[in-house]
Structure formats: C-alpha cells, structure tokens
Amino acid sequence: MISRKSILAVACCGVLALGVAACGSSSSSSTSGGSSGTANTPLTGAGSTLIAPLMSKWQSDYSSRTGNTVTYGAIGSGGGIEQITAGTVDFGASDAPLTPDQQKAAADVLMIPWALSSTDPVYNINGVSDGLRLDGPTLANIFLGNITAWNDPAIAKLNPGVTLPSTKITPVYRSDGSGDTYILTDYLSKVSSEWKSKVGVGTEVKFPTGVGGKGNDGVSAVLSKTDGAIAYVGAAYAASNGFNQVAVENAAGKFLQPTLGTISAAAAAVKTIPSNNAVSLTDPPKSATNAYPLASYTYVLAPSTSDKADSLKEFITYAIGPGQSFGPSLLFAKLPSQITSADKATIAKIGG
C-alpha cells in the first residue's frame, strides 16, 4: 500500500509540473501571431493620451480600409516609452522624444513624428471668460506656487480691464508619465530659469504645488470640478470640453490661443530636422510672429526590427498620409513637408 507521504510528494511534483506546463504553453501561443509578410497582423500600441482622440479615428478608419485591427491603450507617454522599451507592445506613442538615456535603453526604437498639436493651458475661474492673457514667466510662477491668487498684480497687469476674483489658484498636473507634462515643462524651462533649476523637464516631474489627475481625461475632470483651477491638456481635450484657454504670449509679444494656424506657424519655424527626428517646437523664436508657444509633434515609437514590420510600416504610412485628414477637427495641424519626407525615410528603416 503506497503511503500517504509519497502520494503527497508525487502530488506536489504534479502541481509544479502543471504550473510550468501552463506557463510554457501560454508563452508559446503569444509568438504564434507573428507572421511576417502579410499586413493582416493586428497591432498593439500604447502611450500618449494627447493623440488618443485622433488614434480612435485612425483605428476605425484603418480597420474599414484594410481589415487590420489596431489596439491602443492611452496610458500616458511615459507608459508608452516603458512598454516599447520592454517590447510588450508593437509600437509606442509619446509626445516627448526619448531622452538620451531612454534611447540607449531602447536602442532599436525609431522616433517618427506622426501628428502635430499642442498642449493648452486651460482654466476654470468663476467670472472669468475665455482668453485670459498670461506670459511665460507668469505661467511658470503660477505652477511654481509663487503666485497663489487670481487677482495677483502680475496677472492683472497682463489683463487690463478684466475683473479678476480673489479665488485661490489650484494648478492641476498630470500624475502619470505624460507627454503633455513634457511639452509644458520644456516650455517653462525655456522661459523661467527658476523653473529650470527647481523642477526641470520631463514626462514626470515633481510639481511644487497643486492637484494631480490621471491622463488628459483625469486632468480635465479635476479642472471642471475645481473653481480657480488651471491645468494643461492636449488641444483636442481643451476644444471638445469647451474649456477656457489661456492666450499665451509668444516671443514676438503676441498673445495667442492654439489654432491650426498658430500651431502650423510654430512647426514652420523649425526647418532642419535632426537625424533622430526629435524636434522641440516650444518657445519659437521672435521671427515666428504667429507661432503658438506650446506646440509639439507627437511621435510613434517603432522598433527598427520587428516581426510585424510590414504591418507597422503600412499603419504609420497611413497615419501620416490619409490619416491626417481627421486631424483638423481635433486640432491636429497638417504635418509640414520637411517632416513627412523625414518620416518616410525613417519608415523605410523599419525592417523584419
């Protein structure tokens, strides 16, 4: 008669074996979807929430054109960079270009700007209508916590004739790794040395004061519920939620709100594209008189070697081509020609 102890031993081995077998079979099934040639391989991407509204249009249109499914998770640009570096998605999306360290960690990832939009400072102040004027240093001081009430003299000076309430200012920032944060901090670092030294540039920085929200959606939700709040959201979110937008002063001294025209003007100011396609459009020079100071490209992060190379190439080519037609209604301006030619050259580098 077999003793209970030996049965126990056999049982434990059995459970372990089952577990290992299950893990083995599940990981092998994941590679089975990697047929190279045909473009009918579903793609999965993750990252920027700024591009999510446009991506949603691309997903349905692309699917009806080619039958190919693109799955996209808007987890923030920081998340997009993480996941493409880890190889857990087929492409990433980020409004922030990879830092040198990040590029080193993701050595084979290419950056391809595939849309052009902006991050807009927006506000919700009882009694103040659209178009409040702010300049770079004042904006920096607000987010630094140096200016705490809306009727501060620095703000009043820029807005003669506007009655400003004494409401406390609540800056709202992105609590997740965000390309919008990158665009804002990139701009603030250029116009405020205090910001540059205290906080710096990045997708995730330590904001000195304020309330956090997750994703463009989360920040929009907090803004709409808080009187006296100021936040920064992707242009599509500002427009679709009807938020009051700040008129930011550019280097030429004009107070501008983001429109297709002012965003395109900012893009036109940068003619030379570096080899890695990382371009900063914030704080354009004085010569770009009509340029919006917080415009930015948003990038697709594609691996240069992928077993879904053909699918990727087809999708990205679609995005910078026919896909652009969905942009204007969502405040994405048309990509300028110098970018599209650089993009096409980079797309050609994606190989199987």
Partner 1 sequence: MTTDAATAQPSPLLAGKNRGFIDRFGDRALYIITLLAALLSVAVVLGLAYKIVDEAAPAMSKFGLGFLTTSNFDPVHGEFGAAQFIYGTAVSSFGALLLATPISVAIALFLTELAPRSSRTAIGTLVELLAGIPSVILGLWGIIVLGPVLNDTIEPALHSVLGWIPLFGGTYSLVGLFPAILILTIMTVPIVSSLTREIFATVPPTDKEGALALGATRWEMIKTVVLPYSRPGIIGAVILGLGRAVGEAIAVTQVIGNTAGIHSNIFLPADTLASKIANTYQGADPSTTIPALAYFAVILFVLSLIFNSVARLLVRRVQSRAGRAG
Partner 2 sequence: MESSQRPDHPLLAARTGNLRRRRAANRTMETSAWIAAVLAVAVLVLVIGSVAVKGLSSISLNFLTQNADPNSIEATGGIANALVGTGIMVGLATLMAVPVGILTAIYTNEFAGSRSASTIRYFLDVLNGVPTIVTGIFIFGLIVTAQGHQSGWAGAIALAIVMLPLVARSCQEVLALVPGSVKEAGLALGASRWRTTVSVVVPTALSGMITGALLAVARALGETAPLLFVSSIFATNLSTDPSQALPSVPLVIFQFSESPTPAKHDQAWAAALVLIVVVLLISIVARVLSARMRRRLGAAR
Other Cβ atoms within 10 Å of 92 Cβ, number: 29
Report the C-alpha gap between 58 and 323 in whole angstroms: 6
- Regarding 92 and contact with partner 2 (CB under 8 A), the answer is no
List of residues 6+ apart from 238 with CB closer than 8 A: 120, 122, 245, 258, 331
Query: Quick one: what does residue 343 bind among partner 2, partner 1, none, with the CB cut-off 5 to 8 Å set by partner type?
Result: none
Cα angle for residues 344, 348, 349 (degrees, 5° grid): 125
Closest to 243 (Cα-Cα) out of 123, 156, 144: 123
- Regarding 220 and contact with partner 2 (CB under 8 A), the answer is yes
Query: Which of 39, 162, 221, 252 touches partner 2 by CB under 8 A?
Result: 221
- Regarding 15 and contact with partner 1 (CB under 8 A), the answer is yes
Strand, helix or coil for residue 127: coil
> Looking at beta carbons only, is 52 or 191 nearer to partner 2?
52
Closest to 82 (Cα-Cα) out of 51, 47, 108: 47
Residue type, 240: S
- Regarding 63 and contact with partner 2 (CB under 8 A), the answer is yes
Minimum separation from the CB atom of position 89 to partner 2 (A) = 7
Query: Which of 214, 254, 334, 344 touches partner 1 by CB under 8 A?
Result: 214
- Regarding 215 and contact with partner 2 (CB under 8 A), the answer is yes
Distance of CA 275 to the CA centre of its chain: 21
Q: In this structure, are strands 43-47 and 255-256 parallel, antiparallel, or unpaired?
A: unpaired
Q: What mask, x for binding partner 1 by CB under 8 A, covers residues 144 to 173?
A: ------------------------x-----
Burial (CB count within 10 angstroms: exposed 0-12, middle 13-18, buried 19+), residue 127: exposed
Residues that bind partner 2 (CB under 8 A): 23, 26-27, 29-30, 42, 44, 46, 52-53, 55-57, 59-60, 63, 69-75, 87-89, 214-215, 217-218, 220-221, 223-224, 236-237, 240-241, 330
Residues that bind partner 1 (CB under 8 A): 7-8, 11-12, 14-15, 19, 46, 75-76, 78-80, 82-83, 86, 168, 175-177, 200, 202, 204-206, 210-214, 218, 222, 225-226
